Amino acid sequence: MQSGGWKPPELKPPLLIINCKNYRAAWGEGGLRLASVAEDVGRRFNVTVAVAPAAPFLKYISGGTRLPILSQHVDTVGEGAATGFLAPSSLKEAGCVGSLLNHSEHKLSARQVATAISLLRQEGLVAVVCAEDVSEARRLARLRPDFLAIEPPELIGTGVSVSKARPEVITATINEVKAFSPQTRVLCGAGVSDGADVEAALKLGSDGVLVSSGIVLAKDWRRAIEDMVGPMRAFYRA
């Protein structure tokens, strides 16, 4: 359990983010077990691993692990009369270090993304913004998010990694993002299934990967996470 004054590790590259989505395997106790395995593997490999649980389990999982915890989404609202919305300040209270934004399964307008980034920063939280293609990445880079994850939606959940199937998308995204926001870290998502996919993404210049079913639905979480963080040890960046 977290102790008083404890702060989660910084989200530094190379970074593995595990998006649990709403897979039942990662609900409640299952999610806590996944986070515990990820914490142990990340510590042994000296690689930063973060987990994004489903919203009902954020506080429970953040309270039982020293991993950095991300929300899967945040709304552009403050505290008070905002029934059914996730306020950035509530994420901080739940122990999150930040949030995913604009995933292809939960799209936002550019204005909403801009507002969400601003609200997260007011709370000292990190924004991990998803983009479907190079054009969207270019537009969102102007908002200077902390991280931008390129995830072609047609490859999500297919087991066919963008780093192998469409490597030019990663290199083009990195070039576009760095032109507008040099400090933004670029992550690779969509279809990432194993260590070879991770290594390919890092060799193309990615600062890490955003993965979901490749780990959450794996029969052996430890083996799946070890396989993906293994190649990361050779890719430390300042």
Active site residue 226: no
CA dist 1 and 176 (Å) reads: 41
The active-site residue out of 73, 103, 132, 136 is 103
Q: Quickly list DSSP for 124-146.
A: T-EEEEEESSHHHHHHHHTT--S
Q: How far apart are CA 164 and CA 154, in angstroms?
A: 14
39, 132, 136, 151: the active-site residue: 151
Residue 212's identity, in one-letter code, is: S
Helices 110-122, 134-141: inter-axial angle, 10-degree rounding:
50
Position 156, amino acid: I
Active site residue 151: yes
- DSSP conformation class of 72: S
Residues shown for the chain? 238
**Cα separations (Å) of 187 from 3, 33, 210?**
31, 25, 7
Question: How far apart, in whole angstroms, are the C-alpha atoms of residue 99 and residue 17?
Answer: 11
Catalytic residue list: 103, 151
